[in-house]
Structure 1
């Protein structure tokens, strides 16, 4: 064990994950709405600003970080050796990257004529393969489970072969960019490696956050083109700041839940508030050099986002786990325990509606009505996941 973490279920982590998923669905649907305030949209790359919409992705990264110490301890407590633990981490990373690459190629750059099928049908077959591979099966026959997963893998391989992109239809399935899930996968992998190398030591994790920011600075410096190593670093700066956010989540988990440190509740909150203040100040100091930009994954954006996430979680932990005001979190629990399925459901529906030529009225994407519709849609998706959980449909990487 790297850390002596509490074995109790932390409801506030689940609630934070569930709330983030709800907001993610809401803002994704809201992206197509016209006539809404600027603060409800993603900021342009060069705006030197951010809204709550630009915090959804870093909130996912932060929660991934909060879960890593618990996940590592859980695997080790079940008897995994170091090699088995690394394989588990690697397979999860590969799964996230594969999902990200497929989803990105379904968003644009495809050539339906060269593929011989619509992108909507291709996408639905892809999601069918995803469910076959990563569904948590409850029946006992391992042979049937393996067969279903092999079918899913074969389906993805066939779809990868079928895929054609570009105007001439000669481009194959490629990482145009890694996609949200792929970026989470890379940050998860790097953070897991660092967490283990640093033996889960809080101070070392905080130092690693600083190293990630320095890596970004080096990659964006005037020397970035001076050598092949520097050019490589220039291309990895986004991964560095994403990893910094994950490491911030790890740090907050250790501040609150590492029982080796005999801290009172007030001391734990003071640690987190101090940590949040420090990274806010760091972001402020760096802002003259690096503008706030989600698109460019700047240190200011990552540090401000991690600071807000730290404070939001501290409030949720106080409200839910300490004050026991938790009955309202039941709505979020199914999505929080089934985040991958919840994430892909809107994409499945989009592909299905496109295949069936179903379109919502234009009124749903205008002004106040569009905002209300986006909120109803997000709540409906969350409720739909509750039904899927009752049907024993759950995805797990």
Structure 2
């Protein structure tokens, strides 16, 4: 009861600047562009090590290993705006939790389905990998598309058809040797974002958007990860406690983005000029110093979601966003952001679109020339492909296809 009373909010939590923040949209759009590029270039042979993910056993990170945390960071930056927007529209406490829960479940479902596309046993499933995957994406679009019909029942018919399709695809799915059912072998990128998003939303509401409390929770998340790695932690049936260590680490990145939003855009904090500069610089230095102190014990590793990787990644995101903020919101150099706007406002469609194209080509029996799968030509093609995906999203937006969890 205490938790519910503490979370029950019907008024604005933070006094945030109104309207869309171009620098956040640009940061999101650039991150998605780079994400498409690095996902594509991962299949190219003969690329330099700095363009590849660091291996699990290595104590290092490349720019590729910063893409996922950048997305987590942006999720955190968006949470205060999203929650306060819904409260401003009159959402009750329970309606707000319903929205957060629906969004979390959606990310889990999408993550699990996407992970399992890699393990399909076509013979046991009764259809090819490409066909099953494309049907999944069609159903996902039906469920999460933003419809503009005046009669809401039409929208629910499309959503219902998509949900039914997902259930059927989940039932007929077989993986591995043909006996494996659809299951979270791991949560996938979207599923991991879902866990971190859920925890961050709970913390944000629980502490009523207090910047000092959010800073404390970043430390708590890092501390929880460290605690879970100790040999005395429970095993067996209680191992689920330790299994949340990765989610706690990811949540620390989301909370870092949330805190930066409060520094820049919470008008009650009234951070401007030198005060804002010193606050942001202090946060950056704290993240860097903490990562440096933890690194000897907890090596830098995206795959292991180590504290040093989380903190270094968050620090890098602080710098990137601050530079974008100065350029776009302070200097008003913003025309160039129009290219990223469709992807920035429609990240889910942009994220799944390359897979749709890939499985569509597979189903049609179309493949790229061998020269585009190696070396410099392959790298250049991946860059062009990423740009094409952003242009395609823009076209799909005009056709009324826009996904929202």
* TM-score bin, normalised by smaller chain: over 0.9
1:211 equivalent to 2:220? Answer yes
In the alignment, the residues of structure 2 paired with residue 215 and residue 269 of structure 1 have an alpha-carbon distance, to the nearest angstrom, of: 30
Residue 321 of structure 2 is aligned to residue 313 of structure 1? yes
Deviation at 1:232, TM superposition (A): 3.0
Could you tell me how far apart the structure 1 residues matched to 2:76 and 2:63 are?
A: 20
3-state DSSP class of the match of 1:383? helix
Say whether residues 1:144 and 2:151 are aligned partners. Answer: no
Match among 158, 180, 193 for residue 189 of structure 2: 180
8 Å contact from structure 1 (residues 134, 149) kept in 2? yes
State the TM-score, normalizing by the size of structure 2.
0.96
Q: Does 1:104 align with 2:115?
A: yes
The separation in 2 between residues aligned to 1:364 and 1:226, in whole angstroms, is: 47
Cα offsets for 1:274-304 (capped at 9, x unmatched): 1011011000000011010000000000000
1:14 equivalent among 21, 25, 34: 25
The match for 2:163 is: 153
Report the counterpart of residue 352 of structure 1 in structure 2: 360
Aligned to 1:119, which of 129, 143, 151? 129
Which residue of structure 1 lines up, in the alignment, with residue 180 of structure 2? 171
TM-superposed deviation, 1:165: 1.4
The 3-state SS of whatever aligns with 2:131 is helix
Is 1:260 aligned to residue 271 of structure 2?
Answer: no
Contact 1:59 1:309 (C-alpha < 8 Å) held by counterparts = yes
| Aligned 1:313-332 pairs, distance under 5 A | 313-332=321-340
How far apart are residue 233 of structure 1 and its match? 2.8
**2:229 corresponding residue in structure 1:** 220
Q: How does 1:1-397 map to 2 (within 5 A)?
A: 1-108=12-119, 110-167=120-177, 169-225=178-234, 229=238, 231-397=239-405
Is this contact kept in 2: 1:198–1:204, CA < 8 A?
yes
Distance in 2, matches of 1:316 and 1:265, equals 16
How many residues of Structure 1 are paired with residues of Structure 2 in the alignment? 394
Give the whole-Å Cα distance in 2 for the aligned partners of 1:330 and 1:209.
Answer: 33
Q: What do the CA deviations read for 1:157-214 (whole angstroms, capped 9, x no partner)?
A: 00001101121x1211000100000000010000000111011000000000000011
Query: Shift in Å at residue 227 of structure 1?
Result: 8.1
Q: C-alpha offsets along residues 41-69 of structure 1, whole Å, 9 cap, x if unaligned? A: 10001110000100000000000000000
Q: CA 1:226–1:104 in structure 2 vs 1: closer, same or farther (change >3 Å)? A: closer
User: d(CA) in 2 for partners of 1:121 and 1:139?
Assistant: 29
Question: For the Cα contact (< 8 Å) 1:215–1:233, is it kept in 2?
Answer: no
Deviations 1:243-269 (A, max 9, x none): 000000000000111100222233212
TM-score calculated relative to the size of structure 1: 0.98
C-alpha deviations, 1:26-55, integer Å up to 9, x for none? 001100111111111100011100001000
Q: Please, which runs of 5 or more residues in structure 2 have no aligned partner? A: 1-11
Report the CA distance between 1:226 and its aligned residue: 6.4
Supply the distance in 1 between the matched residues of 2:69 and 2:35 (Cα, whole angstroms): 11
1:24 touches 1:56 (CA, 8 Å); kept in 2? yes
- RMSD of aligned alpha carbons: 1.0
Cα distance in 2, alignment partners of residues 175 and 43 from structure 1: 24
| Cα distance in 1 for residues equivalent to 2:369 and 2:274 | 52
Give 3-state SS (helix, strand or coil) of 2:20's partner: coil
Unaligned 5+ residue runs, structure 1? Answer: none
Output the CA distance in 1 between the equivalents of 2:273 and 2:155.
45
Structure-2 separation of matches of 1:251 and 1:232: 28
